[in-house]
Every structure is written in structure tokens, then in C-alpha cells.
Structure 1
């Protein structure tokens, strides 16, 4: 749980509301989180291999989002859960070879390409029912007073996915808090951000300095 303990990589953003600030923060938070709440993969009803959405910070199986589970002082804390189901190709291949040997022994011939394809689909479905989804939860902290949002994820792909989910659920725009973005907000020109020669360790010869700034020693 990186938000409450430990140190990990995170990205910082500033939330800019599309409209006026919500009059009821608690209701606004609950509504937004529930609109993008995590829904587990139903292995029996769908072929989906991935599911993602918001969950409570301290209970990754809960999407109730009660005030006590989300609000911590001036912070809103929650998680973004991503479940994936991956069936290793080697496992499917081994099961298919086992079936092919049993088929040949029973029928006195090797299975045709069509029979193999049909059985591959059946085996994949069976193995998928037994699969256990892998789960990854990224923590999110939102300072409701300063509007600063921190997404605790090292993957750029994960950060982008969570960013879009937050913008969609809460109807806000997240602006990255990086030097270039902060400078633009402050009205600082791009030229002013160029590293100085002293910063990058480049020596300046007298020929590069205006004559009015060159100090000559006494003869």
C-alpha cells in the first residue's frame, strides 16, 4: 500500500474541473468512483481477458466507497485495480499433445487439423475456467484542497489508463505537474528553460563574451 507506507514511483497531476466545483464533495466522490468501479472477470460468461476499475484503498474487493473508506482528512484515497487472465501457451500445447496421443490410441489414427482446432478451443475454454486472474492495484491520492492528484504507478501505460478513468469518472482534466507544464502555467517562455552553460559544464571563451563584459588585466 504505497500511499500509507513504503516508497514507489508516482506521477503528479493537477485536477482542473470542467465545471464549477461540486457542492457535495462526498456524494461527488462516491458517484464518480462507482461509475468507474471495478467489475471482476466472469470466466463463465465472457471471454474477456482483462478488467479494470476503482476499488477501495484498504479492501481491493470492495466497491462500496463509503465516506470512511475514501476520505482521509483533506485527501481522497482509493485504488485502481487491473485483473488479467493469461493462459500460458505451453500449458495449452501440453494438454493438446496429451489429448492427441489419447485420440490416436483410441481411434488408431492421428487427429485431423480440424479435430485439433476444435479440441484446442475446448481445452482453452476448460483451462480458462480454472485460471486465477493476476491482480495489480495502483493507489491514487487526491488532495481535495490543493487539487493535486498522485498516481502511484511506474508504468506509463498504467498511468495513462488511470488518468483517463479519473477524467471520465469525475469530469475533470488532469494536467501533469512537470517543469514544462508548470512554466507554461506561470507564463515562462520556453527559452528561459534552456540549461545554462554553467549548468551543463561548458566553458565560455572570451570570444563568446561581449567586449563590455571582458575584464583586461593591467599592462
Structure 2
């Protein structure tokens, strides 16, 4: 989902920690270490990594073009392939039949069945082209905030885990309550916010 192309659904986060000496070198090393890796010629079911926000095929990051101080602008690419259970079952049975014919009907052990099933699964996965999904990511390192171009729970879980592993920082979703709390300084207003109840939109009253 794109922040820079048309409409976008954004999820905001606060980032824990501060910029330390050598920050730019650290970011560059981590971005390149966690760059996207193709799975076209493998049996891997998923790959996730950084790409250029302008081109999801670009993982070279020439001249650290992602760095627009104080912003880090990247694309997060997720490739997945899924093997339907019915397809695996069909080809597993076909392979079992071939083995039985070669053995003149001799029984196949449970261990052999499982080994053959895994072999079939890997062969089929290599033949399935992965689907590609990309998300834009903007990190304001000055204010320690991140905008992620997605909102589904599965996408958020993937992003949060990947971002933490990549940069060794904590992400806190910037929900409306926390955003409002950060703006208030007067004790009376803070107390009112903490005592506020959810609004019942169906009845027009506080729940």
C-alpha cells in the first residue's frame, strides 16, 4: 500500500531510543543486512525485506537514497507462496502410487510416506510463483515516529516484528489516547482525559 501513490491507510508508531553517534552508518548497515531476498528459485514460502520506496525491485540502495534527513523512507516487500492442501494431497498420492508400482505393491512405511510428502511439497513450491505485496515506511528519526502504509493485523504483526529485529528498537502504536496525552500539560486536562469514557455512536452517549 502506498503513502506516495493515491490514497493510503496509515498506522503510526512511536519509536523508543535516541540517535547515537554513528547512527547513519548503523542504519545503512541494517537496511542492507535486512534487504529483500528473492525466493523465485527456491522452495521458501515467505521472504520479507527492505526495498526502494520508488521501485520494489531495487535492493541496491545506491547513495543511501532512502536517507532524507531526518527521514528514512523505505519500502517493505513481502513475497509469499502458498501450496493448497488439496494440490499437495493429489500429487502425494500420485507419487505413492508410482512407488508402489516400482515395488510390486509392497507396503510403504509411515516414515517413507512423510519423507515423500515433504519431497513433493518442496518440488511443488518451487513451481508456484510468489505473490508480492509492498508497504511504504517513513521514519522521522528526529521525532522518533514511524508511519506504516498498512492497517491489517497480519501486516502490522509482520512489520512490527521485522522492524524490531532490524533496528533493535521498540515500536508503540500511536493510538488516539496516547497522541492526546502527549499534547496535554495541564493536570486538570490530563485527569479529564484519563476519566473519559468511550462514546457510544449508536446512542450518542458515553458508554
Measured against the shorter chain, the TM-score band is 0.7 to 0.9
Q: Does 1:59 align with 2:62?
A: no
Which residue number in structure 1 is paired with residue 171 of structure 2? 174
Aligned-residue RMSD, C-alpha: 3.6
Aligned to 1:86: 82
Give how far 1:174 is off: 2.9
SS at match of 1:141: strand
What is the SS of the residue equivalent to 1:121? Answer: helix
Q: How does 1:179-218 map to 2 (within 5 A)?
A: 179-185=176-182, 186=184, 188-189=190-191, 190-194=193-197, 201-202=204-205
Deviations 1:18-73 (A, max 9, x none): 24x245664343223123322334865xx653222222212323332234631357
Asked if 1:6 corresponds to 2:21, the answer is no
Q: Note the C-alpha offset of 1:116.
A: 4.1
Structure 2's unaligned 5+ residue stretches are none
Pairs within 5 Å for 1:23-172:
26-41=24-39, 48-67=44-63, 69-72=65-68, 75-102=71-98, 109=105, 112-114=108-110, 116-172=113-169
Query: Which structure has the bigger radius of gyration?
Result: 1
Aligned length: 199
TM-score under structure 1 normalisation? 0.69
* TM-score, structure 2 normalization: 0.72
